[in-house]
With several copies, the nearest count.
Chain A
């Protein structure tokens, strides 16, 4: 009798090997230590940290959070401690773990993007970059990086020149044609794509008649947006050859597997961390259980499975 092979959860994102497909979504996992009490960070496929910029950003005034039906709006406004402080104060902690660290970053201009990207190259303990071109929280003129194909091409190409690290481009879902934006990012040098970032939304308090968020609009995340995210991953999988990291409303292993079947090589868990701080490892365990029940040996075999037939 042959020993049953244990289920293999390994996946690759370009040159990056992950022990399992479960990553954290930028902005929902702090810089890592916040969750160390609740899970063994070594178990994660990768840790993606809060979006960083050249200089620290103070972010938007509160209220920054509004709950909506099966979702939440946030307008954090990209508050972060800046790249220098991150490397000095936060990275040493993360280096203690075997889990790859992916740095999410953004800029206010083309130059800032390029400059920010160049800061990570050669820094020990940083395994890949995730470039956020899609944050809907910044004021006018900003979100154009992720919604105008020409600008996306320009900024991704500029960043590509500045880094040898695997470059993941995180797409905005607030576009007419996500497949087009994906192709543009691929052609401009992206090694992988993350999708989706939050949908732009808003809520009004009918008693005060004012927007509930101080910043008026915010980004919608959570289970509410999962159907949109699944559709986009499915459409983009058909359109590009590079691997996809799927996210948007993942709450459990079933949701994560749905993203993989839609075409994601890995997944990121965001809002769910707020609901259950140990959800990431529960998802990994749930994936293993699913594979054992279904006698699936390689989780890789599920990537894009919904496209077959």
Chain B
């Protein structure tokens, strides 16, 4: 069965001021969705809005999936109007999920003196509604992950109780200090991974572009591998329209090393557009040309 299906809405509940959790009963397409993958959702059977909206897998359920979304514009406002029993067209799961390396306990190579609780446990960073994308990854890590969750205000922090139950190492911040630390996730990141940290973790992050860019800067400067989930406007979600691109360093450019590349005029050979919906949405921070 192909990935274009009709799903039945079994719930569409508010989980915060502008946020909703959409539960869908989906026919089995024989694909197991993975953390970091996404779906294209038709919000209305109409030519306006015309295009489907992309949403990350939030949770795999027995009957289908759940999506967590922010009511933001035309499409999501219409989506919020749907009720249990309605059905909608769904395309997915799409894209590649987060490459998961199961966290290992601190070994000999990681001296016992490191300050972070689970030295080699990955750091998972969510900015705002980016929590939807990393949530299934946090679940998968079964407590073995450091989770940083930043948002504009208290109102934009979702599912905190549930998240606290999923990880022991949970850090929150808000721009206005209305919950957790006042500041952003980079501040938190710097705190939990001070310059002398030896056993460096993997980073996974999803959130607004400025945050991802800052995470990328941090990771690259510290030689940490970071997987970032990117967003771009999408028409098809299946690689056909070439609408959703991001510039990614080519293999040749990567082999040359950063300095060589910076020394000469950038050429088409150094980087090429890749499709977020096909080659992504998750990319390695060091490969992305911002």
Do A and B contact each other directly (Cβ–Cβ < 8 Å)?
yes
Q: Which of A's residues lie within 8 Å of B, judged by CB?
A: 27-30, 34-35, 37-38, 50, 56, 58-59, 61-67, 69-72, 74, 76, 79, 222-224, 251, 271, 273-278
B194 within 8 A of A: no
* Chain A residues in 8 Å Cβ range of B42: 275
Chain A CB within 10 Å — which of B49, B50, B236 has the most? B50
- A-B contacts besides A34-B238, A278-B4, 16 pairs, CB < 8 Å: A27-B242, A35-B238, A37-B2, A38-B3, A59-B245, A62-B246, A62-B273, A67-B51, A224-B47, A271-B235, A273-B240, A274-B241, A275-B42, A275-B50, A276-B89, A277-B236
* Chain B residues in 8 Å Cβ range of A29: 240
B260 within 8 A of A: no
Q: A76 touches which one: B3, B49, B241 (CB < 8 A)?
A: B241
| Bound CA span A224–B232, Å | 23
On whether the beta carbons of B50 and A71 are closer than 8 Å, the reply is yes
On whether the beta carbons of B235 and A274 are closer than 8 Å, the reply is yes
On whether the beta carbons of A65 and B241 are closer than 8 Å, the reply is yes
On whether the beta carbons of B233 and A62 are closer than 8 Å, the reply is yes
Known: A59-B245, A275-B50. A65 touches B240 (CB 8 A): no
On whether the beta carbons of A64 and B242 are closer than 8 Å, the reply is yes
Least CB separation from B91: chain A residue: A277
| Bound CA span A273–B236, Å | 8
B230-258: which have CB < 8 Å to A? 232-247
| Bound CA span A224–B50, Å | 10
On whether the beta carbons of B244 and A34 are closer than 8 Å, the reply is no
Chain A CB within 10 Å — which of B89, B233, B240, B244 has the most? B240
* Chain B residues in 8 Å Cβ range of A224: 47
| Bound CA span A26–B238, Å | 16
On whether the beta carbons of B242 and A70 are closer than 8 Å, the reply is no
On whether the beta carbons of A274 and B2 are closer than 8 Å, the reply is no
Q: In whole Å, how far is A281's beta carbon from the nearest beta carbon of chain B?
A: 12
| Bound CA span A275–B3, Å | 13
On whether the beta carbons of B47 and A222 are closer than 8 Å, the reply is yes
On whether the beta carbons of B233 and A66 are closer than 8 Å, the reply is yes
On whether the beta carbons of B239 and A30 are closer than 8 Å, the reply is yes
B52 within 8 A of A: yes
Chain A CB within 10 Å — which of B236, B239, B241, B272 has the most? B241
* Chain B residues in 8 Å Cβ range of A222: 47, 50
On whether the beta carbons of A59 and B51 are closer than 8 Å, the reply is no
* Chain A residues in 8 Å Cβ range of B239: 30, 34
Q: In whole Å, how far is A60's beta carbon from the nearest beta carbon of chain B?
A: 9
16 of the cross-chain contacts (CB-CB < 8 Å) are A34-B238, A34-B239, A38-B4, A62-B273, A64-B242, A65-B51, A65-B232, A67-B49, A67-B233, A69-B47, A223-B47, A224-B47, A273-B236, A274-B52, A274-B240, A277-B4
* Chain B residues in 8 Å Cβ range of A76: 241-243
| Bound CA span A46–B236, Å | 20
On whether the beta carbons of A72 and B235 are closer than 8 Å, the reply is yes
Known: A79-B273, A276-B4. A27 touches B50 (CB 8 A): no
B48 within 8 A of A: yes
Known: A64-B245, A277-B91. A34 touches B273 (CB 8 A): no
On whether the beta carbons of B238 and A277 are closer than 8 Å, the reply is yes
| Bound CA span A263–B183, Å | 39
| Bound CA span A56–B3, Å | 31
Q: In whole Å, how far is B46's beta carbon from the nearest beta carbon of chain A?
A: 9
On whether the beta carbons of A62 and B244 are closer than 8 Å, the reply is yes
* Chain A residues in 8 Å Cβ range of B232: 62-63, 65
Least CB separation from B233: chain A residue: A65
Least CB separation from B89: chain A residue: A276
Least CB separation from A224: chain B residue: B47
B268 within 8 A of A: yes
Name the 4 nearest CB pairs between A and B, nearest first.
A65-B243, A30-B240, A34-B240, A65-B233
* Chain B residues in 8 Å Cβ range of A50: 242
* Chain A residues in 8 Å Cβ range of B2: 37-38, 277-278
* Chain B residues in 8 Å Cβ range of A277: 2, 4, 91, 236, 238
On whether the beta carbons of B240 and A35 are closer than 8 Å, the reply is yes
Q: In whole Å, how far is B234's beta carbon from the nearest beta carbon of chain A?
A: 7
* Chain B residues in 8 Å Cβ range of A66: 233
* Chain A residues in 8 Å Cβ range of B47: 69-70, 222-224, 251
* Chain A residues in 8 Å Cβ range of B236: 28, 34, 273-274, 277
